Amino acid sequence: MSAADEPVSHFPEDFRAAVSARLASDGYTIVGWEQNGVNVRPPEGGDEQYIGLSNLHRRVRAAEPAEWPEMIHSFLDRLARAVAAPDIPNDLTTILDRLRPRLGRPFDRTVAHPWGIPLPGTGLEITLVVDFPQTMAFVTDEMLKRSRKRGEDLLDVALENLRTATPADFFERASPEHDIYIGHTGDSYDATRALLLEELMPDSPAGFWVAIPSREELAVWPVSFPAIKNVHGLHLFATENFREHAYPITDDVFWVWQGMWHPFITLKNGDSVIDPPDLFIEALQELEGPRP
């Protein structure tokens, strides 16, 4: 193989070899590698398909190599079921119970055109999806047009659906030492439940620090004077899990107070930088008790 023929993928050779072997075993034909995935021809033939592998690589990197083939097979099986997902009807109002919100990084709209609105203060975006048993599909502007509905109206419905799907014991205290709470159900909407945290958590007069490093993780810490000196630990949690876990969202820590989101800790030049907004001092005045 010449240098020009070498795959441009940044994945390590052992991972590419394991993926190649599993694809061949499952009947796929590899057409060519790209930096973050691979182009294949499916077992039944037809048009080429691109398979993104970044999230899969994050998962297998934490497992033993002997486990990789089954993990890759499961990934491809879920992908095949997603392709075969039921068609979305022209009128979204016929499937209102399937709507869910999604909180994540903004889409590159030169590639896809889902409906979405920014979550102020975060650099993140709220979108809508249609939830199926094995996959989900993003609601697009065209779908809304056909349904004669505004995205903001259906977002209210989707949020109510998420409330209904959230167990009463969603948040669990992470340790006896710190009153950090972790929310995890594994249903792909855990990070999105940050949109409901002021409803799901007991009242906190000065608000909450929030970390959503990946789609399946939500960490919340009620603001208190004793916690201020340790809040950098929440950023360590965010940066490590953002780097290691599938479906990453952000390594920032936010402060949420009275329904508004504010950047609080960010990573700059490899260092955690705490930069509270002016409102944070006002919020601290709502707290009672001794200061550290």
Render pLDDT for 106-116 as a digit per residue (tens, 0 to 9).
Answer: 877 766 678 99
pLDDT at 46: 65
Distance of CA 94 to the CA centre of its chain: 27
pLDDT at 52: 79
Neighbours of 176 (CB within 10 A): 6
Question: Phi first, then psi: what are they for 137, rounded to 5°?
Answer: -130, 135
Q: What is the pLDDT of residues 268-284, one digit of tens each?
A: 887 889 999 999 999 99
Task: With beta carbons less than 8 A apart as the criterion, state whether 156 and 196 touch.
Answer: no
Q: Is the pLDDT of residue 132 over 90?
A: no
Q: Is the pLDDT of residue 82 over 70?
A: no
pLDDT at 38: 83
pLDDT at 85: 55
Tell me the whole-structure pTM to 2 decimals.
0.76
Q: Is the pLDDT of residue 93 over 50?
A: yes
Question: Phi first, then psi: what are they for 97, rounded to 5°?
Answer: -70, -15
Q: Which amino acid is at 279?
A: L
pLDDT at 68: 92
pLDDT at 110: 65
- When the pLDDT of each residue in the chain is averaged and rounded to a whole number, the result is 87
Domain boundaries, the chain: 3-83, 92-164, 171-284
pLDDT at 4: 41
How confident is the model over 175-190, as a mean pLDDT? 90
Q: What is the DSSP letter of 289?
A: S
Q: Is the pLDDT of residue 6 over 50?
A: no
| ∠ CA 180-195-253, rounded to 5° | 50
Q: What is the DSSP letter of 140?
A: B
pLDDT at 134: 64
SS3 of residue 284 by DSSP? helix
Q: What is the pLDDT of residues 24-46, one digit of tens each?
A: 988 888 888 877 778 788 787 76
Q: What is the pLDDT of residues 235-275, one digit of tens each?
A: 999 999 998 887 889 999 999 999 999 999 998 887 889 99
Q: What is the pLDDT of residues 187-226, one digit of tens each?
A: 889 999 999 999 999 999 999 999 999 999 999 999 999 9
Q: Is the pLDDT of residue 233 over 60?
A: yes
pLDDT at 7: 44
Q: What is the pLDDT of residues 44-76, one digit of tens each?
A: 776 667 787 888 888 888 889 899 999 998 888
pLDDT at 112: 62
CA distance to 20, 149, 153, per residue, from 68 (Å): 12, 44, 43
Q: Is the pLDDT of residue 1 over 70?
A: no
SS3 of residue 136 by DSSP? strand
pLDDT at 286: 87
- Terminal-residue alpha carbon distance, the chain: 65
The token pair that represents 36 in the structure block:
């973050």
Residue 3's pLDDT band, with cuts at 50, 70 and 90, is very low
